[in-house]
Structure 1
Amino acid sequence: MKFSCFKLAALLLLLSGCATSYNPDIDYNPEYNFDQLQTFVVLDDFEANQEASKKLNRNLSSLDNDRLIKAITNTLKQKGMVEADKADADMQVRFQLVTKDKTQLRTYNTGFYQCWRCRGHYGYGGITPVQQVEIKDYVEGTIIIDFVDPAKGKSVWRSVVSKAIKKTKIPVEEKQAKIQELVNAMLASFKAPAVPAQ
């Protein structure tokens, strides 16, 4: 797939559908103490990894990359966390987008036809089902948000959403809201930090 199509596919994944249509797959380390988290930083890998050997997030436009950072930041602040510099953050948040070409194969009956020579052989009394096969090529997009412990350099919480990409045009003024809905759904189950005792 050409890079321009790849970038377009990424854009459409983020901007299609609504939050209720997303079913994120959540994974986390149950032994990790999430109550200790108070501060976070969203790492902007778009600027950091532009070398040919590091294509992380190169498929996002810089506009959507910034919208995604803003949406993650807004959601975590609403959960009580405080944005901090990379050196001081309790948790680093990374995100990436992956696309994959897929094929869907569907078979279905479209009706029946008379087959006098088939009488008694198939149990339909001379009526034989007509079966058609539909092959559909599509692109599946997967967005991943990782919470990485900076001391360990390992992910301790992850949210993943995969969807077939719809070729839908979204007005510019609605794009931030659509991305915010997606991020809200992906981070809905992330536990807000405990409020420090006064």
Structure 2
Amino acid sequence: MRRRAQEPASRSAAVLVLFGVLDAEPAQHRCASVPADLDVLLVVRASGLRDHPGEIAFPGGGVEAQDATLQATALREAWEETGLDPAGVEVLGLLPAVPTVSRFEVTPVVGWWREQSRVGVVDAGESAAVFRVPVADLVDPAHRCVSVLRRGSEEWRMPAFQLPQGLLWGFTAGIVAGLLDELGWSEPWDEGVEVTPAGY
């Protein structure tokens, strides 16, 4: 079937879902299924970016010509955005690609931070902040909510997480929530808690 002329083709992209051992304070929430020192790396996207400005996300971006694989894309983008050393990352596998509203087909690349390196904002035009979140605190029912977007008579409801750094919602929150469910780490939470993301 031919694609309509006004519908540009989706571009391939990859994000790095990087788990590691927390190098600061352990999680505040205690749960039997998740170690208190297990964390995941996140960034706050710069406010000037065209796609998803100001949102909390995994490091990542579009596939470029020099990328031999989607794993290479995720590691390159993470290095460009956070300064992490890709040599210290062990890739564990790929999750199925997910389409986004910004017309990307995004593949989450799951990794383990075998040899940790210093991370931080490398380019303020790309990232406003780089931080690590204890996974147990993502499991914490007190941090979970539903993001609700309404446009006219239409409504979209998606999982979200209220973090000290802001609201984690959209594509990234969906991947996190799916992983927590798949791994059997989720705890019952109040799905009646609704939050509207800023700007919507």
Same fold (TM over 0.5): no
Which has a greater percent of helix? 1
Query: RCO higher in 1 or 2 (8 Å CA, sep ≥ 6)?
Result: 1
Larger gyration radius, structure 1 or structure 2: 1
TM-score (norm 2): 0.22
